Structure 1
Amino acid sequence: MMTQSVRRFPASLLAAMLALPIGLAACQSGNEGEGTLGAVAGDATAAQAAQAAPPAQSASGPAKASESLGKGPVKVAMILPLSAGGAAGDRGRKIRDAAALAMADLGNDLITLNVEDTGGDDARARTLTTGALASGAKLVIGPSEPGAVRQLGSVSGSNRPLVLALADNYAGAPGVYSVRLNEADSAAAGAAAIAAKGARKFVLFMAEGEAGKATEKRVANSLSIYGASLAVALPFGPSTGGSEKAVADMQALVGDPQAIVVAGGSANPAPLVAALRAKGMLGKDVSLVGSNRWLEHGIDDPTLQGAYIATLDSAEIGPIAERFRKTYNYEPDVNVAYGYDTVALAAGIASALGPKGFTKKVIESPTGFRGSTGVFRFREDGAGERAMPFFRVDKGKLKLVEKSTSGF
């Protein structure tokens, strides 16, 4: 079986943590006696969400520079690029709308969510985040600006709130947790899925620098679950001499891998995969595993045919999708899931444990949480780990192989 079994959630959090979206789904489906978690479902919830907080620009009007949602005793700060242009602003507004929906569903009486707009400016993101850290907030959700997030790991203080960071390709730091799926988790889950099928000897091509080291560690840990291991891990990037040299280096060290994982960060994987094929390293008995970052370059290159990728399905975000469409009249994506799940987590902790529940011990629960994107958990080093669908590249598209796999 590729799919990892998921242990039960702590009893003290079961009624209020991220099982809540699952409960809402049960309520919507009309299953009496299931999901009785006190949440309002269906059109009533959608109407409540719309009344509780007007949608941001992506729905029906301009984003607000600052707004407060809910009236609960626990303060939570959310820092987003609401008025930024392009993809950053679109992403921020979707997260805000999902947060408002989660507040209406779960959080209005438990937390007060203060939403601040960075405008996509890194300096303003740092200023707002610093202010949130000193404001008495128990949790900070965001920012999404990479520079601002990276600096948070160096901020000390015993009273500093925990941070659920929303930056892309962020590895995490103690107390500053990576919410978005990153390459290390994607590669680890994909490798674990292949190891579950029997492969034992793996090669990893990874990004240069600290990101690559993080990927190597995560992949090695995931393989150990199945008794598999990395025969060699090779950095791959501009300073390593290109695809041909990378493949030659691999051949000098190992000649018969059962699986090759290519997780090269921002590098286009196609030239490396082409070099592997040219040297006969991708025979029918050798599995090729990619990562979510392959999607940045597209997967329509025939060279990538047959590769496996573990990644989130942006078209499948659980039971909140239909209610989100009805509330805001546009299509949800994975950003909506991140926005909803982070606020749901905050509301769940506030409900089960109160203000004193916002601790590393709770956030880093090894059993994890269930959200609209599936099961996830946070590690002590700030990295996020997720269960996710497992796909095979078929004629430039992702074809589902397994509904869920994980590297933990």
Structure 2
Amino acid sequence: MSGPTSAAAVKANLTLGTGATKVTMLLPLSAPGSTGENGRKMYDGARLAMADLGDKLLTLTIQDTRGDSGYAKDLAVKAITSGTAKVVVGPSELAAAQHLAKLSGSKRPPVLALADNFAGGPGVYSVRLSEADSAAAGAAAIAGKGARKFVLMVPAGADSSAVESRVANALSIYGATLAVTLPYSPTDGGAKVVSDMTSLVEAPDAVVVACDDGSPAAVLAALKAKGIPGKTVTLIGTDRWLERPMDPLYEGAYIATLDQSETGPIADRFKATYNYQPDVNVAYAYDMVALSAGIASSAGPDGFNKQVLENATGFRGSTGLFRFRSDGSSQRSMPFFKVEKGQLKLVEKQTSGF
């Protein structure tokens, strides 16, 4: 049967490699449902990176957070205060990562957090592509083509401040503006927010639709009824749209997201080794272990400092080119696509993120 390594098999092998640089990795290996499955995919990604690059450079100790935020927080605090780990990879629980970001202390090892939609903090770096990054990169690419007036739509109740600030900041670089941010309810069909937009903003050039973990379909249907996307108004989506099957309503939208071709080299080896297709969880785990091995190789066990991790040129991984900022957020240079006939068609090889 193909699929991630079983939880029982994982338990038997929680220390990998014999290198001088000690790394602690926190994964939800025995969590129920998709959380545990994703944790075990990350474990397999880490194993491949160790086999490829890390075995002689790192001693990787993997600890099971069980998907429990409180327990993950305790394990993480112990990992950063024990004095043995040079870097901590994980946790993937958002509340635990947020707790770590609030802790003070400059002598701690850096944390490469795997939590989704985590904003980051000093010394606690956000690894995953966030919806804010994807929305900002897409908006910047369209602003770079001359669009000046943008509208952002976000699900009501979601924490939209990160998406709003990143999009506004990206637009300002091109002299474009975010005219208004409008929360929408996924249940009212989206008609109200679209009529609000037409009364508040005269002739916008582009509409950015974020969806958090819900579906953008209702608001896209309401926009389509108003002729958006069309000759005068561009529609910009985010990577979160792609977490569900491609909807005919996505047609004509632009999306900045990770480059699947970057994962090609590891994807083939991964599938040959573990007998299932890798996903983004595998890629993030692989990249963070590979990054740790790269730093250990070039700078030694004590090379995990701000200067190395926050260097402006960034790092190339199987998820593309990325860099960490001093506030703990990450920036990614990613390809820009247009949805045509239900497929992502490449428009630009990379957005001018950095």
Q: Which residue of 2 aligns with 1:121?
A: 68
Report deviation, 1:117: 1.2
Residue 129 of structure 2 corresponds to residue 181 of structure 1 = yes
Mapping for residues 229-248 of structure 1, pairs under 5 Å? 229-237=177-185, 243-248=190-195
**What runs of 5+ residues in structure 2 fail to find an aligned partner?**
none
Report deviation, 1:210: 7.9
Q: Which residue of 2 aligns with 1:338?
A: 284
SS in 2 for 1:355: coil
- Contact 1:72–1:111, Cα closer than 8 Å, also in 2: yes
- Seen in structure 2, the aligned counterparts of structure 1 residues 311 and 220 have a Cα distance that, compared at 3 Å, is same
Instruction: Count residues in correspondence.
Output: 351
Q: Which residue of 1 aligns with 2:34?
A: 87
Residue 86 of structure 2 corresponds to residue 138 of structure 1 = yes
Q: Which residue of 2 aligns with 1:255?
A: 202
Q: Distance in 2 between matches of 1:243 and 1:327?
A: 46
Mapping for residues 307-346 of structure 1, pairs under 5 Å? 307-313=253-259, 317-346=263-292
Q: Which residue of 2 aligns with 1:363?
A: 309
Q: Which residue of 2 aligns with 1:292?
A: 239
Report deviation, 1:229: 2.6
Residue 33 of structure 2 corresponds to residue 77 of structure 1 = no
Counterpart amino acid of residue 322 in structure 1? D
| Divergent runs of 4+, >6 A | none
- Contact 2:23–2:87, Cα closer than 8 Å, also in 1: yes
Report deviation, 1:116: 0.8
Q: Distance in 1 between matches of 2:236 and 2:42?
A: 30
Report deviation, 1:358: 1.3
Counterpart amino acid of residue 404 in structure 1? Q
Residue 154 of structure 2 corresponds to residue 228 of structure 1 = no
SS in 1 for 2:297: helix
Q: Which residue of 1 aligns with 2:51?
A: 104
Q: Which residue of 2 aligns with 1:154?
A: 102
SS in 2 for 1:295: helix
Counterpart amino acid of residue 393 in structure 1? V
Report deviation, 1:316: 5.2
Q: Which residue of 2 aligns with 1:206?
A: 154
Greater RCO structure (CA 8 Å; 6+ sep): 1
Q: Which residue of 1 aligns with 2:337?
A: 391
Identity of aligned residues (%): 62
SS in 2 for 1:230: strand
Q: Distance in 2 between matches of 1:338 and 1:57?
A: 15
Q: Distance in 2 between matches of 1:373 and 1:248?
A: 38
Mapping for residues 7-22 of structure 1, pairs under 5 Å? none
SS in 1 for 2:71: helix
**What runs of 5+ residues in structure 1 fail to find an aligned partner?**
1-55
1:58-115 Cα offsets, whole Å, 9 max, x none, are 2797211762112222221100112223222221122112212222222223221111
